[in-house]
Amino acid sequence: MPGLSAEQRNQLIERILGAVDPRLIASVRAEFTLPAAAEPPHAARTVVIGGHRAAGKSRLLPLVSALLGRPGLDLDIELEQRTGRSLREWVATDTEGFRAAERALFLSLPPGSCVAVGGGFLSHHPDALEGSYTLLVPISFETYRERLLQDTRRPRLRPGVSLEEELSAIYEQRTLLHRRVPTVGLGEFLRAMSPRSPE
pLDDT (tens digit, 9 = 90+) per residue, 172-189? 999 999 999 999 999 999
In this structure, is the dihedral angle defined by the CA atoms of residues 155, 159, 165 and 168, taken in order, positive or negative? negative
Is 120 part of any domain?
Answer: yes
16 in a domain, yes or no? yes
pLDDT digits (tens, 9 = 90+) for 48-105: 999 999 999 999 999 999 999 999 999 999 999 999 999 989 988 999 999 999 999 9
Q: What is the pLDDT of residue 95?
A: 92
Q: What's the total number of domains in the chain? A: 1
- The verdict on residue 198 lying in a domain is no
Query: Which pTM does this prediction carry?
Result: 0.93
CA distance 113 to 181: 18
Q: Would 76 be classed as within a structural domain?
A: yes
Whether 63 and 12 have beta carbons less than 8 Å apart is answered as yes
pLDDT in the model for residue 152: 82
The answer to whether position 176 is within a domain reads: yes
Torsion over CA: 90, 156, 25, 189 (sign) = negative
Judge whether 1 lies within some domain. Answer: no
96-154: pLDDT as tens digits: 999 999 999 999 999 999 999 999 999 999 999 999 999 999 999 999 999 999 988 88
Short-list 107, 117, 134, CA closest to 77: 117
Q: Is residue 199 pLDDT above 60, yes or no?
A: no
The CATH number linked to 171 is 3.40.50.300
In a domain, 199, yes or no: no
48 part of a folded domain:
yes
* Full residue range of the structural domain in which residue 14 is found: 6-193
